[in-house]
Structure 1
Amino acid sequence: MSLGERWLKGAYAGSPWLWPLAPLGALYARIMQARARAYADGRKPRTTLSVPVIVVGNITLGGTGKSPLVAWLVRWLAARGYTPGIVTRGYGGKAPHYPLMVTPQTPTTQSGDEPVMLAQQTGVPVVADPERGRGAKALVAMGCDIVVSDDGLQHLALDRDIELVVIDGARGLGNGRCLPAGPLREPASRLATVDRVIVNGDDASRESGKAPQATTMRLRPIGWWRLADGERLPLAPLPFALPVHGVAGIGNPGRFFATLEALGVQGQWHAFADHHAFGAEDLHFAEPRPIVMTAKDAVKCQKAVPADSWALDVEAVLPSEFEEWLATRLSALARDEENDHG
């Protein structure tokens, strides 16, 4: 276990060896609050679009399930007549130019892994740009009439109409402290200012009660796909022999491995750091077995994996109450826009 992995585990478990860092965490929290005030009162400029912006983010380090929610949102919006687009920072990628239009074939070295995965899963325009306002403007110029900002909660330079925060139900907010004393990117009080908290999983943390509304989201496995040829097969029967090598380079690998076990998949689990750049050596194991990984990892591994390698596709499931709330909010935004131009 690397030092970073040990730190993250301790931050979520409340390990006492992090207590001496509490003053630094308090200082970080004050800095983030001062930064937010600077954007709110206009001392720092914001980009405001002519179309609605929905931000999906979190206030913790580590994976929470933002990408499945983003994919769900753009599918839901498209089914209701919108033309959505996704803007993302493109973490882990370095493009020759920005804004970068991301396609299912874009090298992850340019865009990062999540943008390519979202382009593959949704079919909507995806733009990667560290300056999200510039990237979002490119989406509007392409004809998008609503923008979803992936992992954009702390990117306050892009104005937004709806903020959705995803919390890992099992891990919650960890020890409740800000970096480096804990896993929080912003103070827990930030939850009281967002529009909705989405709790990924059943075990909703008590901290989510600080938000005005909390919604439970579930991630539902929907099938397997073979990396060698893209063939997609149902969950059962398993299309590979057991045991397997399970591989995950995501923010919370344990959640993926628990999902595999719930599906009856047995084997040896191999956790890597989030956004790990996989090489052939990472996927060469002493004991030859089928390899099973996440869809996010698969976009980086298709050229490096053995033939018997599979990815698990999942989709977000949200309650009808959330859909009704979101539809109402978007209708209200449309009415406000009409009144402003009336």
Structure 2
Amino acid sequence: MEDCLLAAWRHRGGLSTLLLPLSWLYGGLSARRLRSRARRAWQAPVPVVVVGNILIGGTGKTPVTVAVCQALKARGWHPGIISRGYGADIGPQPRLSDQGGEASHLGDEPALIHAVTGAPVAVHPRRALAACTLLSAHPDVNVLIADDGLQHTALARDLEIIVQDGRGIGNGRLLPAGPLREPPVRLDRADWLVTHLATDEPPPSTPASATTGGPREIVMRLQPERITHLASRRDLPWTTWRSEQAAAPCSAAAGIGRPERFFAMLRAAGVTLVRTLRIPDHQAIPAEALRDLPGGPVLITPKDAVKCTVPYDPRLWAVSAAPVFSDPGWLDALDQRLRAVAARRPPRHA
């Protein structure tokens, strides 16, 4: 069913057209819900940056969130992360990274963001409640980054970063006739549109009406930077590991939204992949599936690594990738915009 829908969402064929009445219903109900929540939105005492998407599936929000968090820390900010915590049984109260940074406690993506950035994290489906809990536990936090919070309009935001990939807006239709959570014109209200592309992948053809006078557009491509052997915790620069491994054949496994993009990155970096293994997003790599792979290194994503449990399969290596932006100056612009927002905020304890 998933493959069938993904194929239908690439064009406006018969199946997509058949599902249009459901899309109209979804669009109407979704717009009403978003407006209702926005009218009661909670305003945080510190600036809020939302990183999200209108396209269903993995677009690359996590590396963008990490890049934003690290850039703000380097510029003197004290960021905190709030997220839904998908994949973990959160319960009625928010969970904090102070109480444990494991994927089982926070969810895989928040756990990865916390591990990479060191920023405090709070997770709960109600992002405003997560934000209040985080700010209470960490009063030094002076900017909040909401990971995957674009449609959570109950939390007021100051700046929005929408992330898409090579699919662009797909066939331009809402779920279930297309891959969109919101109409394409929603892009106009964002501050930045980051398009995550694989090596040599061309940018999508987005209609001009969705971008003219709209967000500042940036292309992001990921390149391998470091690699960690899970069993020994040996951490190496990617170039060092490649020189040691030479042209040794490898396998790769990924439980992310777009596994093929991870595999394409590895091949572009010179890795010979004899087998690839796709796992449903947010699911742990099954041990039995690993046993079926041939000998030699098995390369996985950091998101998959945080879900692996000891004892680790000795073949597992986690590949950490660094983003390369077409316009690196956008992070300086983000910093300047946030400082302007913070200057207009009343004192926290006024």
- Give the one of 147, 158, 162 matched to 2:159: 162
TM superposition shift of 1:328: 2.7
Q: CA deviation at 1:244?
A: 1.8
Aligned to 2:82, the other structure's residue is in SS state strand
Is 1:234 the counterpart of 2:237? The answer is yes
User: Which residue of the other structure, out of 328, 340, 345, is the alignment partner of 1:332?
Assistant: 340
The answer (yes or no) to whether the contact 1:12–1:173 under 8 Å persists in 2 is no
Q: Distance in 2 between matches of 1:251 and 1:7?
A: 15
Counterpart Cα distance in 2 of 1:9 and 1:274 = 18
Task: Report the secondary structure of 1:90's partner residue.
Answer: coil
More displaced 10-residue stretch of structure 1: 106-115 or 269-278: 106-115
What letter matches 1:6 in structure 2? C
Aligned-residue offset at 1:217: 2.0
Q: Report SS of the residue matched to 1:181.
A: coil
Residue equivalent to 2:87: 92
Query: 1:218-229 to 2 correspondence within 5 Å?
Result: 218-229=221-232
Tell me how far 1:148 sits from its aligned partner: 0.1
CA distance in 2, matches of 1:340, 1:292: 46
Q: Which one of the candidate residues 317, 322, 347 is aligned to 1:315?
A: 322
Q: Deviation at 1:242?
A: 2.7
- Secondary structure of 1:54's partner? strand
Q: Aligned letter for 2:226?
A: G
| Residue identity (%) | 37
Closer/same/farther in 2, CA of residues 244 and 103 from structure 1, 3 Å limit: farther
2:43 equivalent in structure 1: 48
- Deviations along 1:282-301, whole A, 9 cap, x unmatched? 32115333211111111112
Residue 197 of structure 1 pairs with residue 193 of structure 2: yes
**Structure 1 residues not aligned, in runs of 5+:** none
Q: Could you tell me which runs of 5 or more consecutive residues in structure 2 were left unpaired when the two chains were aligned.
A: none
Q: CA deviation at 1:8?
A: 2.6
Q: Does 1:124 align with 2:132?
A: no
Structure 1 pair 246/9, CA: closer, same or farther in 2 (3 Å)? farther
Q: Which amino acid aligns with 2:26?
A: Y
Following superposition of structure 1 onto structure 2, how do residues 280-319 of structure 1 map, counting pairs within 5 Å? Answer: 280-285=287-292, 287-303=294-310, 305-318=312-325, 319=327
What's the offset of the Cα at 1:134?
A: 0.9
| Corresponding position of 1:279 | 286
Kindly state the Cα deviation for residue 110 of structure 1 after the two structures are TM-superposed.
2.9
Is the 1:246–1:270 Cα contact (8 Å) retained in structure 2? Answer: yes
Query: Kindly tell me: are residues 130 and 36 of structure 1, through their superposed partners in 2, closer, same or farther at Cα, counting changes over 3 Å?
Result: closer
Task: Give me the whole-angstrom Cα distance separating, in 2, the residues matched to 1:100 and 1:308.
Answer: 33
User: 1:97 offset after TM fit, Å?
Assistant: 5.9
Partner amino acid, structure 1, of 2:281: D
Contact 1:104/1:116, CA 8 A, preserved across alignment: no
CA–CA separation in structure 2 for the residues paired with 1:124 and 1:339:
23
Pick from 60, 66, 69: which aligns with 1:71?
66
**Alignment TM-score, normalising by the size of structure 2:** 0.88
TM value normalised by structure 1:
0.90
Q: Which residue of 2 aligns with 1:215?
A: 218
Q: Distance in 2 between matches of 1:88 and 1:66?
A: 12
Q: CA 1:5 to 1:248, structure 2 compared with 1: closer, same or farther past 3 Å?
A: farther
Distance in 2 (CA, whole Å) between partners of 1:135 and 1:77 is 20
How far, CA to CA, are the matches of 2:60 and 2:187 in structure 1? 17
- 1:133-184 CA deviation, whole Å, 9 max, x = no partner? 111112222121100000000111111111110010x221111111111111
Q: Are residues 208 and 56 of structure 1, via their aligned partners in 2, closer, same or farther at CA, if it must alter by over 3 Å?
A: farther
- Structure 1 vs Structure 2 CA RMSD: 2.4
Partner SS for 1:320: coil
What is the aligned partner in structure 1 of residue 172 from structure 2? 176
